[in-house]
Structure 1
Amino acid sequence: MEMHFQLALSLGVVFIAGLLRGFTGFGAVMMIVPAFALFDDVRAAVPIGLFMDLVAGLLLLPRIRRHICCSLILPMGILALATIPLGVGLLAWLDPDLSRRMIAVLVMLFAVVLAAGWRYRGPITRATSAAAGAIVGLLVGWTGMGGPPAVAFVLSTNLDAGAARASLTGLFLATTSFALLNLAMQGMIGPDILLRAATLAPAFMAGTWIGGVLFDPQRESLYRLVTLSSLATVSIAVLIGG
């Protein structure tokens, strides 16, 4: 009975995460990782969140690949790939409960940053792109969540909305794939994680599709408020929980 309840709860979480992704284009991993960490080991929550993000990226890639700005994403991607092993090492080394609570704090901070509409205001150079990529890679490897700093940096450039979204999707596909490879090399992805990810993926895909269909551009601010409030609620639950 407990196993069936956990499966139903997991399906519900990834479905809601998919809805958030479909509504706003972000928030899926930020929802999945801390929510799963409430009833599971954070070292299982991170790869499952990354697998769901990989599914979303692969679904989008055929439509957006021509719009990816390689001159911006390549410096970020190279440094991100270099620091992902450091983040995975942190996940493997730190006490899981400490990681769980720190991830909850990060989600709360990210929600505040996204709600405030903060953007990077400095110069856009190869050096700053590489520095942003290094931060993204470290966070992806450790928490699965490199999205907010990447979004804050890329949206500060002069890219139009379509190119920015495509470039972020390309960056996340690369970092997610490499993070999963490193997690597997650390022994944190076994047959059980693969089976769970495969079981949960259809619910996530359904949520993403429904969220996209129901999305109304005139209500984007409402969807963002719902998303950020949901993320903050999950974070508080993790910090209050045992």
Structure 2
Amino acid sequence: MLALPAPVAEALALPGLWVLGLAALMAGLVRGFAGFGSGLVYMPIAGAVLPPAQAVAVLVLMDLLGPLANLPGALRTGTPREIGLLALGMLPGLPLGVAALFLVPPEAFRWTVSLIALATVAALVAGWRWHGPRGRGATITTGFLSGLVGGATALPGPPVILYYMASPVPVAQVRANLTMFLVMVDLGLAVVLGLSGQLGWTLATVSLMLLVPFSLANGLGSALFRPDRAGMYKVLAWVLIAASAVAGLPFWKG
């Protein structure tokens, strides 16, 4: 019998691989119809299965490749110039966040990602929005915060989500901008993690395996999205994010 390549065999032997697959499925669905939220769904569960840096690395590779099909439409619908300002702030924040990632213990990492996810849902449900100025400085600062949090937890979404939720632009344009920005964050994280030696063949294989359910669910979510039903999609995204965050809390020892 032909032996499997070592990275494939190691990936298949990973304890909890099916749990990661389920998390990837839910994450792709939310990303497809909401334009964000894949990390908020995936990371609390992944943090219970993998060490922090590995959990982030797997998500980065999966989340970078999965939404690429949505990128051409996002470029047409969104505002690339504003995304450039967000990226300008994100670039210095990202390596600082990754430096913190390497220092945090696994249990503290799980608490952090779950509480960030729950706090984001609570803020969205309560209707909290950024009500300050929306000029160039505020946009760059939002990008920096997203890069800092994204590097430390692979959750760059909350600062920019709350920033955009206060804007008067249409929902479809917000989704497009979030899609473009999160792809740029994933590119930055991939470079930083690659330079730090965190992107091995086994983790890349796990990411490719998870990319299948993630991409299928992402495509389904995009096909289901209807701007006139945005409220329904928001509620569903909130429920899935909150459920994942609760499941990822460290006091669930099993």
TM-score between both structures, scaled by the size of structure 2 = 0.85
**Alpha-carbon spacing, 1:5–1:170, altered in 2? closer, same or farther (3 Å):** same
- The alpha-carbon deviation at position 116 of structure 1 amounts to 2.4
Counterpart of 1:156 (choices 166, 169, 183) is 166
Is there any run of 5+ residues in structure 2 with no aligned partner, and where? Answer: 1-11
Corresponding letter in the other structure for 2:18: A
Distance 2:225 2:164 in 1: 23
Paired residue type of 1:187:
G
Q: How does 1:110-125 map to 2 (within 5 A)?
A: 110-125=120-135
2:71 equivalent to 1:61: yes
Q: Deviations over 1:68-94 (max 9, x none)?
A: 324422222111011100011010122
8 Å CA contact 2:52–2:109 kept in 1: the answer is yes
Task: Please tell me whether the aligned partners of residues 35 and 176 of structure 2 are also in contact (alpha carbons under 8 angstroms).
Answer: no
CA distance in 2: counterparts of 1:217 and 1:161, whole angstroms: 7
Q: What is the one-letter code of the residue matched to 1:77?
A: A
Q: SS of 2:13's equivalent?
A: helix
Deviation at 1:172, TM superposition (A): 1.4
Within 5 Å, give how 1:35-50 maps onto structure 2. 35-50=45-60
Match of 1:132 in 2: 142
Quote the Cα distance in structure 2 between the aligned partners of 1:75 and 1:95.
Answer: 33
By percentage of residues, which structure has more helix? 1
Asked whether 1:74 is paired with 2:92, we answer no
Identity of aligned residues (%): 26
- How many pairs are equivalent? 241
4+ runs deviating over 6 angstroms: none
Shift of 1:65: 1.3
The root-mean-square deviation of aligned C-alpha atoms, in Å, is: 2.2
TM-score, structure 1 length as denominator? 0.89
Q: Is the 8 A contact 1:20 1:27 kept in 2?
A: yes
Q: 1:16 to 1:168 in 2, by over 3 A?
A: closer
Match of 1:18 among 12, 16, 28: 28
User: Residue 231 of structure 2 corresponds to which residue in structure 1?
Assistant: 221
**Corresponding residue for residue 7 of structure 2:** none
Q: CA 1:4–1:95 in 2, change beyond 3 Å: closer, same or farther?
A: closer
Mapped contact 1:67–1:163 kept (Cα < 8 A): yes
